Amino acid sequence: MIQVILGGKGSGKTLKLIDMANTSVSEERGNIFYIDHNNRHMYDLKREIRLVNAAEFAIDTPEGFYGLLCGMLSANFDITLIVVDGFLKIIDSAIKPADLEGFFNKTDKLLNEHNVRMVIGISGDPADMPEFVTRYAI
């Protein structure tokens, strides 16, 4: 299942994502991963959370990000939560949310098959987001 936290730059999305990840440590039965475009928040996360710096793996397209998810899920069957901060920075900020419908559909299917919840932070005005993104908004 995909969930999306929408908001403009500086609206507190990252703090919400970090709090959500840290809170879920005591609630989730499986492993928690936090994917970001750098290591800046490494010390903000509880030690039980695995930080993945997508820049270390040259992830810069939706297809590359999907491949990263497939690799993570194939190597670790105990993942229950993946938190993604700065999603558009990871895949390439030139890509518009409207171009991601296929990615969202394919990723949601993959996550549902593996019983994994993924919370994605996306910068932008919620009013300007396409319906397929806003339907996942929390």
CATH architecture, range 2-127:
3-Layer(aba) Sandwich (3.40)
Residue type at 45?
A: L
Q: How far apart are CA 34 and CA 28, in angstroms?
A: 14
What pTM did the predictor assign?
Answer: 0.92
Q: Where in 16-131 does DSSP place strands (E)?
A: 31-36, 49-53, 79-84, 117-123
For residues 50-80, one letter each, b for 16 or more C-beta atoms within 10 angstroms of the residue's C-beta and e for the rest, the string is: ebbbbeeeebbebebbbebbeebbeeeeebb
Q: How far apart are CA 103 and CA 43, in angstroms?
A: 30
Identify the three-state secondary structure at position 88.
helix
Check if the beta carbon of residue 109 is closer than 8 Å to that of residue 56.
Answer: no
Taking the domains of the chain in order of start, what are their residue ranges? 2-127
From first to last of its 138 residues, the chain has per-residue pLDDT tens of: 999 999 888 888 999 999 999 999 999 889 999 999 999 989 999 999 999 999 999 898 999 999 999 999 999 999 999 999 999 999 986 788 888 999 999 999 999 999 999 999 998 888 888 988 888 998
